[in-house]
Structure 1
């Protein structure tokens, strides 16, 4: 491997160590001449930019390529073909090697992967956002070859692990992207470990305070938790050994992200979250004995500890669509604490950790078919040219974390749907035309309406009528992403036809009145009648929601205003926006993106940024720029859905302005505590109070306090002083 002399000695040594680790990892899958192919791929990457090309974090790209390849082989369990693709990743994206050259040197399969990577790279170079239609094409590229998406996921995981090296802006952008797309995608592909690590790392960089708090709490309680796990496991180990089973049993602490979700969902404190860990029993079983031995372990566990019947989850008899197989139960352990126990075999565990890719090692097993079905479904949805990318992502995410229901067609074919699916969902699952004409169904030989929720084992026969047409309220009946997508498309088709009819009616009527329809007149009518889009306005004409006499009256009034020289609504609106500066700080306090000039900006109400906060600008739909904190609750959505509207913003050297900040305070409801807080704020800190609201319950008070401060330093000092008041439990800033 040719190395440039400009590379530091330490980096050179790191590169050699990484290369050795890769060869060791690839050893079991190596065929004749494979080491030579891996070395060739690495040399191509090393030769790019003389071997000194670096990523946004300052790392050598050749080292990054090897580390991604290690993720591919160690954590995804993929073959040498994907490893070579990972090594060529950056060289292919940057044009250092063509797909034809890759095919001639490494073969057709590697070339297929690199072509997919090129498509993805082209879309990212266009600054694709999730709202953009290109994002739909990006996902369609993913669906062409599963190894392409697995390589992208491996690359994003490696980037997240090194995210501390990146700028604050890049940290937010990459974290948003991973949270919104790649972590859910990893979960859908059964990559539980990767999904969990991604979610934890996203939280580390987007909610650092809470992440550190939970990590510290987990560390503080580790000794007690380990002791409890040992006490729980010991009697089970003894009994399982007596039964002659080969097994490993251990406790696994749940991820920081999942614990945080429980804290939010249960609206409780860390100390009240009981299931901080799970016990996992992993059996070394022969294939034909897997199911029997798992239930044998279940019997041992439930003989020793009382089970909660409602918490039994059998994903061995019917695996999840992402290939996941395991037996879960929750039992009452020592000290009357509920404990989750997961029972699986080594094969099942590998699939659970490495996803459906692990099924390639177990040909003929459940899972490969599930992968094919899922990819086929993704392609079917994505190939809809009318599909809105945001709708797809939202629907796609809906299907990730829910259980499934299994039903039968009249011919006895098994179909898998999301739990809560209705007869109408099943109809769209069969075919979109069947869904559009569905009037009900026969379930287990009984007539049921379209909103009937399917149960496991139902036999379903769909009933249709030629005069039936899709209705908007059907969107409240269907729950699967496929049905939602097909239904939305059908409704759009109907609305489009109605809008075209309305346009024809309007043109004919205007012609009778000696007027011509132009864009300016049309836009004024749409706005004047209170519609958001031209299509909605035209539809209303077609379905008689707007009377033509009102349209004629509107046009006559427009002509009168023009004669009187009255300014248009549009001009007045623009003037009002430009002059509405009552809540802006001084012009020299903020510097917006250098590429923008003469822009108006306002401080966002959702997070109330103050001087010294890390901030960014967001181009508002009505013009002007809203300034948000990087930790704003809405930041994630803005970065993922509207990344193209984000602009850089930073504070200048000084400010005399006052900024509004809201604090949430909890503490003992004691006489005089509110007075003490007020004195610290107004007398000691000489800070103005705008408002204070106090609510008390069972001896505890919870207050919301709004003050005016000049910068973050003043606010930090204020928070510290309030925390030091006797009886105060917590003080936190709202909108963080």
Structure 2
């Protein structure tokens, strides 16, 4: 059984004696605090924190992290408080322990909400001290190693959470050793039979291929020795989950996956990495398009290496990774290497860079957390953002920006700054104008064009891929809708109050406050927003305000309290005035507004059949009137019946373009060999513009019936 003395001996390799004594003191404190407590396996509980500290010792973590590992369950499982820990071991250790502690004091009805809330707390703790997540990962790793004592359904739940969140965080922070083990342990818990079969097959294949591996390794090593390059060639093992994923995703057999030989070459400096690359390319022919230089442009988690694939003897593929020993330590320990080098009193640039990237990532998480509607929405953003295959693009000044595969111009704009994303209107890619939805490729240079009054578009959510962009767009749209709903609510309420020859601004002091208290609303904007979004009816609120003004106790909604005169619309009101797709109203049409809950006013043509559904609820129907100053274009649907002939679509498109209109959608249905029906959606200015287009269409030969589509 592993003891505290065994751990102290290991720590002697990199920590001074006074710090080792502090770690031992934390262990004895935890042992006393957990006295009498046992794990599900029957072992004394203190074996768990000791094992967690041992995992951190493998990564050469600092003494405060090891003390936090010893004490990480003390606040949760014993009567010891955070202040008592701070008094005993100092504030930094107490903060670390508090950050790692779970939220078991709070009970949630929904397990998913509990996990999401836990993760939010962890993000806040990480923002104060990034070591919190490293201790948490070590804690989760030991729990995964000892899953055997749990019920099968609990095993699967913990394994799924580990795979979705913790393994991805380990990957994002570059801690490869923990990431690989977490993935394999989760895979074994979720799919025990598949994992066991693959494990046996790997063991068998490794035995069969031993001589071939030795020959390739010897050939690579000899070629390096002949060139006088001091380097070590080691075999690279595939882990269980990566084999399973490749078999599943690429639809390959186990034999095809194991046909690839993998080697890692470790050397002393970056210059040697590139010289070794030349040697192996001379020895075996490289596979075109399979070379990646992660030394010049590291991955987002700080990973650096040269990757190449070679044609071995008999065409056997050989995957080779070339890196320095420091890069190897970074690949295995990721951000933890920051403390490894710090312990040696050296500020290594690779470790420092990884730490800076991790801090930037946590800062991005905090921004997402502020913008997310709730904890579940936040954790979905995080899941999407945790495991990207990166591309690298450049700003006009030459700075490199890392983005996930499939990222668009909008994603880039938001990665630069939220304000730039919110106000972007166009983009130049390599000095050429490009749509905002363009998918980016590595090596491109982007220049974002912004405008002061620009706002995010709801359609952007259909193509953005980064969590930061998605949460920022949703936040901006929500704020925009809220602002517009308040403005619409004010218009509706003032229109109704005008019938009593008053307005919101003219009401006596205290009347509005009395109504807000009666409705349990915090301020005037909340009331106006609820009217603008249709959750409250303007004339009922107006009647109550008038009653309160007159000192009456009861409010009675009367016909006299209806809005005074029609509401004027221009089409540029934003998100709280929408135009019905069923009837496509145009300026010049007689229109009626329906106040739809959560949407605002939906504008219909007066003859629209869908308005009949609301005849029993006249309180939510409003007379509308078009403004004299309309700059917008509006969609309208037409159906044409005409004789089929070649060049028909081109002729229609030319005529409509000449009439200063745009075709948004066109579809052709063949009724028989001679006749066709064409369905058109056009953008036009008003009813007169549409009449002019229809007149031109009627002048075309072979055109029969033309009708405007709508209820």
Match of 1:218 in 2: 202
Q: Determine if contact 1:406/1:457 at 8 Å carries over to the other structure.
A: yes
Provide the secondary structure at the position in 2 that maps to 1:368: helix
Match of 2:531 in 1: 504
For residues 96-141 of structure 1, the C-alpha deviation after alignment (integer angstroms, 9 at most, x for no partner) is 43333333332332122123124x3447765874445624344333
User: Is it true that 1:86 corresponds to 2:145 in the alignment?
Assistant: no
Match of 1:525 in 2: none
For residues 20-40 of structure 1, the C-alpha deviation after alignment (integer angstroms, 9 at most, x for no partner) is 221122112332423332222
Correspondence for 1:258 among 242, 247, 254: 242
Q: Once the 2 structures are TM-superposed, how far is the Cα of residue 301 of structure 1 from its aligned partner?
A: 1.4
Q: Determine if contact 2:100/2:122 at 8 Å carries over to the other structure.
A: no
Structure-2 separation of matches of 1:165 and 1:371 = 35
Q: Once the 2 structures are TM-superposed, how far is the Cα of residue 230 of structure 1 from its aligned partner?
A: 1.0
User: Is it true that 1:476 corresponds to 2:462 in the alignment?
Assistant: yes
User: Is it true that 1:355 corresponds to 2:334 in the alignment?
Assistant: yes
Correspondence for 1:298 among 255, 277, 289: 277
For residues 159-202 of structure 1, the C-alpha deviation after alignment (integer angstroms, 9 at most, x for no partner) is 11111122223212211221121111111111112111111111
Q: Once the 2 structures are TM-superposed, how far is the Cα of residue 495 of structure 1 from its aligned partner?
A: 4.1
Provide the secondary structure at the position in 1 that maps to 2:321: strand
Structure-2 separation of matches of 1:154 and 1:31 = 23
Match of 2:84 in 1: 101
Match of 1:488 in 2: 474
User: Is it true that 1:29 corresponds to 2:14 in the alignment?
Assistant: yes
Q: Determine if contact 1:259/1:276 at 8 Å carries over to the other structure.
A: no
Structure-2 separation of matches of 1:225 and 1:537 = 69
Residues 57, 171 of structure 1: CA spacing in aligned structure 2 closer, same or farther, 3 A cutoff?
Answer: farther
Q: Once the 2 structures are TM-superposed, how far is the Cα of residue 241 of structure 1 from its aligned partner?
A: 1.2
Q: Determine if contact 2:4/2:24 at 8 Å carries over to the other structure.
A: no
Correspondence for 2:323 among 344, 356, 374: 344
Residues 320, 314 of structure 1: CA spacing in aligned structure 2 closer, same or farther, 3 A cutoff?
Answer: same
Q: Which moved more, 1:214-223 or 1:507-516?
A: 507-516
Structure-2 separation of matches of 1:434 and 1:252 = 44
Residues 538, 495 of structure 1: CA spacing in aligned structure 2 closer, same or farther, 3 A cutoff?
Answer: farther
Match of 2:142 in 1: 158
Q: Once the 2 structures are TM-superposed, how far is the Cα of residue 69 of structure 1 from its aligned partner?
A: 0.2
> Using CA pairs below 8 Å that are at least 6 residues apart, which structure has the higher relative contact order?
1
Structure-2 separation of matches of 1:332 and 1:397 = 37
Structure-2 separation of matches of 1:471 and 1:123 = 41
Match of 1:553 in 2: 615
Q: Determine if contact 1:93/1:117 at 8 Å carries over to the other structure.
A: no
For residues 542-578 of structure 1, the C-alpha deviation after alignment (integer angstroms, 9 at most, x for no partner) is 243798954643459xxxxxxxxxxxxxxxxxxxxxx
Q: CA RMSD in A?
A: 2.9
Provide the secondary structure at the position in 1 that maps to 2:615: helix
Highest CA radius of gyration, 1 or 2? 2
Provide the secondary structure at the position in 1 that maps to 2:229: coil
Residues 463, 89 of structure 1: CA spacing in aligned structure 2 closer, same or farther, 3 A cutoff?
Answer: same
Structure-1 separation of matches of 2:260 and 2:196 = 16
Match of 2:366 in 1: 379
Match of 2:439 in 1: 453
Structure-1 separation of matches of 2:106 and 2:194 = 31
1:67-86 pair list within 5 angstroms: 67-74=51-58, 76-86=59-69
1:92-171 pair list within 5 angstroms: 92-118=75-101, 120-122=102-104, 129-131=111-113, 134=117, 135-171=119-155
Q: Determine if contact 1:498/1:538 at 8 Å carries over to the other structure.
A: no
1:502-541 pair list within 5 angstroms: 503-504=530-531, 506=534, 507-508=536-537, 511=540, 537-541=596-600
Correspondence for 2:392 among 406, 412, 422: 406
Q: Determine if contact 1:274/1:337 at 8 Å carries over to the other structure.
A: no
Q: Once the 2 structures are TM-superposed, how far is the Cα of residue 272 of structure 1 from its aligned partner?
A: 2.7
Q: Which moved more, 1:492-501 or 1:328-337?
A: 492-501
Q: Determine if contact 2:338/2:354 at 8 Å carries over to the other structure.
A: yes
Provide the secondary structure at the position in 1 that maps to 2:348: coil
Residues 136, 275 of structure 1: CA spacing in aligned structure 2 closer, same or farther, 3 A cutoff?
Answer: farther
Match of 2:160 in 1: 176
1:167-246 pair list within 5 angstroms: 167-246=151-230
Correspondence for 2:257 among 273, 287, 294: 273
Provide the secondary structure at the position in 2 that maps to 1:479: coil
Provide the secondary structure at the position in 2 that maps to 1:140: helix
For residues 589-622 of structure 1, the C-alpha deviation after alignment (integer angstroms, 9 at most, x for no partner) is xxxxxxxxxxxxxxxxxxxxxxxxxxxxxxxxxx
Which residues of structure 2 form unaligned runs of 5+?
342-346, 490-529, 544-555, 559-594, 619-711
User: Is it true that 1:318 corresponds to 2:302 in the alignment?
Assistant: no
Q: Once the 2 structures are TM-superposed, how far is the Cα of residue 379 of structure 1 from its aligned partner?
A: 1.7
Which residues of structure 1 form unaligned runs of 5+?
1-13, 517-535, 557-736
How many residues were matched structurally? Answer: 514
TM-score (norm 1): 0.65
Provide the secondary structure at the position in 2 that maps to 1:367: helix
Q: Determine if contact 1:26/1:80 at 8 Å carries over to the other structure.
A: no
Q: Which moved more, 1:79-88 or 1:369-378?
A: 369-378
TM-score (norm 2): 0.67
Structure-2 separation of matches of 1:275 and 1:377 = 41
1:415-454 pair list within 5 angstroms: 415-454=401-440
Structure-1 separation of matches of 2:411 and 2:173 = 23
Residues 190, 45 of structure 1: CA spacing in aligned structure 2 closer, same or farther, 3 A cutoff?
Answer: same
Q: Once the 2 structures are TM-superposed, how far is the Cα of residue 409 of structure 1 from its aligned partner?
A: 3.2
Provide the secondary structure at the position in 2 that maps to 1:331: strand
Q: Determine if contact 1:280/1:342 at 8 Å carries over to the other structure.
A: yes
Structure-2 separation of matches of 1:123 and 1:276 = 50
Correspondence for 2:47 among 59, 63, 76: 63
